[in-house]
């Protein structure tokens, strides 16, 4: 909420007055976005003595003052000390941290869970330190520790992306420097990083059984802390240059894959091509070397063992893995990790300073000229035979009598001593809304305007409703009410990657009766676009609200049009002019007036309208706090009826000349005024002629008219299931095809990763002579089965989250079944997945040197396809299960780590403790690794050298060390199909039964 300061010279005093009167928890600078703006009180305390008054005032209206007052900005910036700028940013970040505390609590719980799992997988009672195979298990535990610490830093992506829109506005308006924001974030992250890293190290070090030395414990903690700082710096930088969630996810996944590959564990440095041995570019290299040196140069690994130039088991495992062997490299690696952190943070500052916002603040889609010669058809009364024959609607009245609405008493009120179990939000509300009459539903904040609208529309998801609602005298049936009604929500919710015409096509396709032919539907859509003045924007993209595409008033007109194409008799509108300027509000009201003139029943909640808008209404239903009616009747010319009614009440202040009647009536009906003058407006209304007239009208019109039958519609939806599915699939096709960022990013990522895999693992599958060659092939199989699939999962989640909000609106409108939507959402991914798999397989398969046979190539493509499918469905399922994107991403990371650990690469199946081995068989990633490895190497009989053991064939090594046996090969293929079906089923169940939008 913003406030306008009347005197620019006294902004500090103004802010002091504001903060003394308002609850700092409810009002935020700029937009009502609790994640991005500061409480006014805190802003006042931090900036009152620092910023130029004009800039302070402008910051209150930040979204509307972009790029203004440049000279003031320059002079003000020169006068502000860097210390004050830093203090203000630091304060903002502290508040930001508090409001995101659930995410940090989730991260802490995640660390504890993962520490327990990893500790019990590599439990010290099963960990020996006598030979190279024992050392391999320790190496796996060290590697997974680095992976988990790194992934834990990936939450910085979402956090940084969330900060960027506000930062861009403040940089433009207040000349806020990037270093102030970054330094604040960096300093606040240090104690959090210390706590998280210390928690992980403390819970795992002695349970796993690393070198029993407190000094080595501290040294491992130092490496992991440096790694965490590096990862947070890296992901902040990638978010700052990506600037959108999808792009940042792609960059982070690509960076993660590169770090994995060149880290020295997935493939040994010694097995890289000579011209590729620049693994020094990967921070994982230094982290892996540091923790390995700290562990394997301990005395207990000093058992004699000769391999190459190594003389002990500890040195041998370092040599086999291509790692460093001298102790002084430990400190060099730690210093380099901190250096990476510093470099990434400095690069982030430059990105914040010089990179622009990825979107213009508002792209007005009206570049296309409005066609002024459009035919001015009136829906429902058109003379065209098609409209009259097919789309004639029946004017209907809605009556409600003695409506009461209760909710369970909030826990906070119970704690404060409230004894009642229910809280009443509507009290004895009665009225009539009639065709051709535009009714305003008004009242102060908390009066119950939207509550009444939701109760009448049947949109409430909880609470207890009493009273009677009738349509033309017949009891309202909610299952059929959506066929004759429309609901325009306050937030204009539309699929951003659809055009205006496509949005209307989709709505009309599913909300008009099945007997309406497609050409008739198209004519009707054109008429609706003419009515709401959207014809010139027919092919304009809807875009993201406030960012791209349609302007605010154009989106509002689209919201109205989406409901009108259903040809409803009754339309509810929740605050249609809120957030619009005077011109935009006038355009929207003109559209609403045209809609009313077609003979429909239209009801709008409205908050503090201008005189012009208020005069557009025919009748007013005014409510006071507590959900009680205090006026219900016609407004009269220049609101004379309403004014005369209230001025007839003794002690009520009279309206001043030129005063807005809407503002006046809200002022006099406030609880403060009501208390001061000693009246009860609700009691006065119940004793007035208005109440008697309304009750008489309800009695008169509340019974069915002669020869009028009750509304009847077939059960279910207008369209059959197949039509619903086809329509949903068509919508998804249109939206996906236009989502250039999402598709371009994932195809580019697939191509880049394919080339990277092919180059790094060049021809490793053609010659297998030793154990490490098998591990290298296992590395590329592991990367193929985990990395690209997980990238699909994370990049898809923002898209599904965005569409889920649209789903809630469309489901409430009775457009389609959940099953049709979920099947279409899953089906649209298949062609894109197939293209990804073919691109990846055609590049990687020949480059890594696998045998070029049709059968083996088929198995490779099949398992990659199955892998991509279950990752994609898993991403959808996590979104359906969680309330927001951050929680969905956190859950995905948690399960991804589980899949990573038990995939058979970090630790072979035969080496997993018996109490955790069931997780291997329940792990889809392990099945993919199993299928790819065995399909490519299961028939290879070359002898390979295994350190400390006799030579054995490739197949024997697969069965003995990795546990990959022929008898389970077909089983794991079927298990892929089972888990895909399971994720699809869970996605459907969660979408159907979990709704995170409560009304």
- Give the tens place of pLDDT for each residue, 469-490: 999 888 888 877 888 899 999 8
Distance, in Å, from the CA atom of 989 to the CA atom of 819, rounded to the nearest integer, reads 9
Amino acid 243: pLDDT: 87
Distance, in Å, from the CA atom of 479 to the CA atom of 463, rounded to the nearest integer, reads 19
Amino acid 33: pLDDT: 35
Q: What are phi and psi of 65, to 5 degrees?
A: -125, 30
Distance, in Å, from the CA atom of 249 to the CA atom of 252, rounded to the nearest integer, reads 5
Q: What are phi and psi of 797, to 5 degrees?
A: -55, -45
Task: List, as one string, the DSSP characters of 190-229.
Answer: HHHHHHHHHHHHHHHHHHHT--S-HHHHHHHHHHHHHHHH
Amino acid 823: pLDDT: 96
Cα 802 from chain centre: 6
Distance, in Å, from the CA atom of 254 to the CA atom of 277, rounded to the nearest integer, reads 19
The CATH homologous superfamily of the domain defined by 400-484+569-650+661-702: P-loop containing nucleotide triphosphate hydrolases (3.40.50.300)
CB contact at 8 A, 859 and 931: yes
Amino acid 80: pLDDT: 56
CB contact at 8 A, 882 and 797: no
> Three-state DSSP class for 599?
coil
Strands 422-433 and 438-443: unpaired
Amino acid 42: pLDDT: 43
Tokens representing 23 are 């609850």
Give the CA angle between residues 920, 154, 162 to the nearest 5°: 135
- The position carrying tokens 């996944």 is 253
Show me where the domains of the chain are located: 11-61, 82-354, 400-484+569-650+661-702, 721-993
Distance, in Å, from the CA atom of 624 to the CA atom of 444, rounded to the nearest integer, reads 6
Cβ neighbours of 206 (radius 10 Å): 13
Task: List, as one string, the DSSP characters of 75-105.
Answer: HHHHHS-HHHHHHHHHHHHHHHHHHTHHHHH
Tokens representing 836 are 């990804």
Cβ neighbours of 463 (radius 10 Å): 18
Length of the chain: 999
Pick from 480, 484, 475: nearest CA to 702: 475
Pick from 840, 804, 764, 896: nearest CA to 252: 896
Pick from 144, 43, 24: nearest CA to 89: 43
DSSP symbol at 395:
P
Distance, in Å, from the CA atom of 4 to the CA atom of 56, rounded to the nearest integer, reads 11
Tokens representing 889 are 């991403």
CB contact at 8 A, 267 and 761: yes
Radius of gyration of the chain (CA): 33
* Residue 932 host element (H or E): helix 924-937
Pick from 263, 277, 270, 259: nearest CA to 759: 277
Distance, in Å, from the CA atom of 944 to the CA atom of 400, rounded to the nearest integer, reads 84
Handedness of CA 290, 291, 292, 298 (dihedral sign): positive
Cβ neighbours of 579 (radius 10 Å): 17
Residue 355 has, within 13 A of its CA and on its CB side, a CA count of 21
Return the biggest CA–CA distance within the chain: 106
> Which parts of the chain register pLDDT below 50?
1-79, 361-390
Distance, in Å, from the CA atom of 572 to the CA atom of 349, rounded to the nearest integer, reads 48
Distance, in Å, from the CA atom of 968 to the CA atom of 462, rounded to the nearest integer, reads 50
Distance, in Å, from the CA atom of 823 to the CA atom of 928, rounded to the nearest integer, reads 24
Strands (E), 237-373: 304-307, 310-312
Amino acid 2: pLDDT: 38
Tokens representing 891 are 């859950």
Amino acid 276: pLDDT: 64
CB contact at 8 A, 837 and 831: no
- The position carrying tokens 């990367």 is 783
């Amino acid at each position: 909420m913003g406030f306008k300061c009347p005197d620019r010279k006294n902004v500090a005093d103004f802010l002091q007055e504001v903060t003394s009167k308002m609850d700092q928890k409810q009002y935020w600078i700029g937009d009502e976005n609790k994640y991005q703006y500061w409480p006014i009180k805190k802003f006042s305390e931090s900036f009152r003595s620092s910023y130029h008054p004009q800039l302070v005032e402008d910051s209150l209206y930040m979204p509307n003052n972009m790029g203004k007052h440049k000279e003031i900005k320059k002079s003000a910036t020169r006068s502000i000390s860097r210390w004050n700028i830093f203090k203000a940013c630091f304060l903002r970040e502290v508040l930001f941290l508090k409001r995101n505390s659930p995410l940090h609590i989730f991260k802490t719980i995640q660390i504890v869970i993962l520490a327990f799992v990893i500790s019990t997988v590599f439990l010290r009672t099963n960990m020996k330190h006598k030979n190279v195979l024992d050392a391999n298990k320790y190496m796996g535990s060290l590697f997974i520790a680095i992976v988990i610490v790194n992934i834990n830093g990936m939450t910085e992506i979402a956090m940084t992306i969330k900060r960027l829109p506000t930062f861009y506005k403040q940089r433009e308006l207040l000349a806020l420097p990037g270093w102030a924001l970054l330094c604040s974030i960096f300093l606040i992250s240090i104690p959090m990083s210390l706590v998280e890293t210390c928690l992980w190290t403390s819970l795992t070090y002695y349970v796993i059984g690393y070198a029993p030395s407190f000094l080595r414990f501290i040294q491992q903690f130092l490496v992991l802390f440096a790694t965490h700082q590096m990862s947070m710096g890296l992901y902040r930088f990638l978010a700052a240059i990506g600037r959108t969630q999808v792009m940042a996810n792609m960059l982070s996944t690509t960076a993660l894959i590169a770090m994995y590959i060149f880290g020295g564990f997935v493939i040994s440095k010694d097995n890289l091509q000579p011209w590729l041995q620049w693994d020094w570019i990967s921070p994982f290299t230094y982290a892996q070397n540091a923790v390995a040196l700290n562990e394997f140069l301990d005395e207990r690994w000093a058992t004699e063992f000769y391999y190459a130039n190594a003389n002990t088991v500890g040195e041998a495992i370092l040599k086999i893995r291509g790692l460093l062997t001298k102790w002084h490299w430990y400190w060099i690696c730690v210093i380099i990790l901190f250096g990476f952190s510093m470099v990434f943070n400095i690069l982030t500052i430059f990105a914040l300073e010089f990179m622009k916002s990825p979107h213009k603040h508002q792209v007005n889609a009206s570049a296309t000229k409005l066609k002024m010669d459009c035919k001015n058809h009136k829906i429902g009364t058109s003379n065209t035979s098609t409209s009259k024959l097919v789309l004639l609607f029946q004017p209907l009245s809605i009556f409600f009598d003695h409506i009461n609405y209760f909710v369970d008493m909030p826990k906070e009120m119970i704690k404060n001593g409230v004894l009642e179990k229910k809280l009443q939000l509507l009290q004895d509300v009665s009225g009539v809304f009639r065709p051709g009459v535009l009714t305003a539903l008004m009242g102060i904040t908390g009066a119950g305007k939207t509550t009444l609208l939701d109760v009448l529309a049947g949109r409430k998801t909880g609470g207890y409703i009493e009273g009677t609602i009738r349509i033309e005298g017949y009891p309202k049936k909610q299952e059929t009410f959506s066929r004759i009604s429309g609901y325009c929500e306050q937030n204009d919710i539309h699929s951003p990657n659809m055009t205006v015409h496509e949005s209307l096509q989709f709505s009309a396709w599913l909300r008009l009766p099945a007997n309406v032919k497609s050409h008739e539907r198209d004519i009707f859509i054109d008429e609706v676009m003419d009515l709401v003045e959207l014809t010139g924007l027919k092919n304009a993209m809807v875009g993201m609200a406030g960012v791209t595409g349609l302007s605010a008033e154009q989106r509002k007109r689209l919201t109205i049009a989406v409901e009108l194409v259903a040809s409803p008799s009754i339309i509810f509108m929740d605050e249609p002019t809120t957030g619009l300027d005077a011109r935009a509000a006038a355009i929207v009201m003109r559209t609403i007036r045209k809609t009313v003139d077609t003979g429909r029943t239209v009801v709008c909640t409205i908050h503090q309208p201008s005189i012009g808008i208020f005069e557009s209404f025919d009748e007013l239903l005014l409510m006071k706090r507590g959900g009680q009616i205090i006026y219900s009747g016609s407004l009269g010319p220049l609101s004379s009826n309403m004014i005369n009614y209230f001025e007839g009440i003794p002690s009520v202040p009279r309206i001043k000349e030129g005063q807005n009647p809407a503002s006046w009536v809200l002022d006099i009906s406030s609880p403060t005024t009501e208390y001061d003058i000693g009246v009860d407006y609700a009691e006065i209304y119940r004793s007035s002629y208005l109440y008697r007239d309304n009750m008489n009208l309800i009695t008169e019109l509340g019974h069915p008219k002669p020869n009028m039958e009750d509304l009847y519609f077939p059960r279910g939806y207008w369209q059959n299931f197949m039509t619903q599915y086809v329509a949903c699939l068509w919508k998804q096709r249109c939206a996906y095809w236009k989502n250039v960022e999402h598709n371009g990013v994932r195809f580019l990522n697939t191509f880049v990763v394919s080339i990277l895999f092919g180059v790094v693992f060049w021809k490793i599958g053609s010659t297998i002579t030793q154990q490490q060659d098998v591990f290298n092939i296992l590395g590329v199989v592991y990367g193929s089965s985990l990395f690209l699939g997980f990238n699909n999962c994370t990049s898809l989640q923002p898209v599904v989250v965005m569409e889920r909000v649209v789903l809630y609106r469309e489901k409430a409108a009775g457009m389609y079944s959940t099953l049709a939507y979920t099947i279409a959402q899953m089906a649209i991914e298949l062609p894109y997945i197939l293209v990804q798999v073919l691109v990846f397989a055609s590049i990687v398969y020949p480059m890594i040197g696998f045998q070029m046979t049709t059968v083996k190539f088929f198995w490779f493509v099949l398992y990659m396809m199955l892998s991509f499918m279950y990752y994609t469905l898993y991403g959808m399922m996590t979104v359906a299960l969680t309330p927001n994107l951050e929680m969905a991403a956190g859950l995905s990371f948690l399960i991804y780590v589980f899949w990573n650990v038990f995939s058979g690469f970090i630790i072979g199946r035969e080496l997993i403790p018996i109490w955790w081995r069931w997780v291997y068989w329940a792990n889809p990633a392990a099945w993919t690794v199993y299928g790819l490895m065995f399909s490519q190497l299961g028939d290879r009989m070359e002898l390979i050298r295994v350190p400390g053991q006799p030579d054995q064939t490739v197949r024997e090594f697969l069965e003995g060390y990795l546990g990959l046996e022929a008898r389970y090969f077909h089983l794991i293929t079927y298990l892929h199909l089972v888990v895909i079906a399971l994720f699809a089923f869970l996605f459907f169940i969660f979408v159907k039964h979990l709704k995170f939008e409560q009304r």
